[in-house]
Amino acid sequence: MSEYAQSKPLIRPAGEHDLGAILALYAQPDMDDGAVLGLPEARRVFAQMAQVPDYTLYVAELDGQTVGTFALLIMPNLGHCGTPAGVLEDIAVAPELHSRGIGTAMIEEAVRLCRAKGCYKMTLSSNIQRSRAHDFYDRLGFARHGYSFRIDLTVNGSD
């Protein structure tokens, strides 16, 4: 990608027309080892996502080029006196543009969106091996809190 005249990215909800660029961002080696959905399957999943209230896929653009993405779910709660929580997922920035403020702008926008919806917290999880990402989240004021647990429910992509 060339140098960008625009210094701060435009962050907006993604449309189906953005999926090719988003999949290219997800093809980075440290995101699912570079494996991504094909475009037809991505369109199907994107349509499913659109059916979930307050679940939005965003893109960050510089000079009309997609340079970052994240997904944000504003999740209703019965706990915490009914106060919603934000869950941030699938954060990616074009590798050649790391350390240029794009990730910071995306996180700031996610925080703004969560505050506007009255969330009491915004969380994300990150693979334990991604120490550079952890340093980034630390710098942005995220607190390391508790543990993240998971159970893998598929083996080699099959049930």
Q: CATH number, domain at 86?
A: 3.40.630.30
Prediction pTM value = 0.83
> Within a domain: residue 154?
no
Decide: 20 and 39 in contact? Cβ < 8 Å. Answer: yes
Total of domains in the chain: 1
Tell me the pLDDT band of 129, cut-offs 50, 70 and 90. low
Q: In degrees rounded to 5, what are phi and psi of residue 65? A: -100, 135
Q: 57 pLDDT exceeds 60?
A: yes
Measure Cα distances from 42 to 20, 21, 47, 87 in Å: 9, 12, 9, 21
> Within a domain: residue 88?
yes
Give the whole-number percent of the chain exceeding pLDDT 90.
58
Residue 116's domain comprises 10-139
> Within a domain: residue 148?
no
Token pair for 1: 């990608």
Token pair for 39: 């475009």
Cα–Cα distance for residue pair 147/124, rounded to 1 Å: 12
Mean pLDDT of 67-73: 96
> Within a domain: residue 62?
yes
Q: 8 pLDDT exceeds 60?
A: yes
> Within a domain: residue 115?
yes
Q: What is the pLDDT of residues 78-119, one digit of tens each?
A: 999 999 999 999 999 999 998 888 988 999 999 999 999 999
